[in-house]
Amino acid sequence: MKTETILRDLETVKERLAAEAGDDSRRFLDQMDAWLEQHPHAGAMINSPEELQARLRSRGTSEPVPPPCPALSGSRSDHCRNTSHTRFNFPRKNG
């Protein structure tokens, strides 16, 4: 089942991140903060539900709809793993 594969992948990532932080959640959050400072978000930031609603209302007339991710139209490919459009883009370790 596809859901099981996704959950297995999530568990693997969770275990890797925990190991990198020595199973210390404070250390993990500090590492995440440092990563965010080194890799600032280039797009628009939305800080509240009201901002999101206002942006969605104005978007209907001013912004074109972005093209859908090809990986969402069928089976999962390497597309999402090899592009920068994912929510969290942590550097991959070789190996």
Structure pTM?
Answer: 0.40
Of 86 and 66, the structure prediction assigns the larger pLDDT to 66
Sign (positive or negative) of CA dihedral 68, 49, 81, 74: negative
Q: Measuring CA to CA, which residue among 95, 93, 84 is closest to residue 20?
A: 93
Q: Which tokens in the block code for residue 83?
A: 């592009």
For 29-79, the pLDDT digits (tens) are 999 899 989 998 887 788 899 998 888 888 776 666 667 766 665 544 455
- In sequence order, what DSSP letters do the residues of 1-24 get, joined into one string? -HHHHHHHHHHHHHHHHHHHTTT-
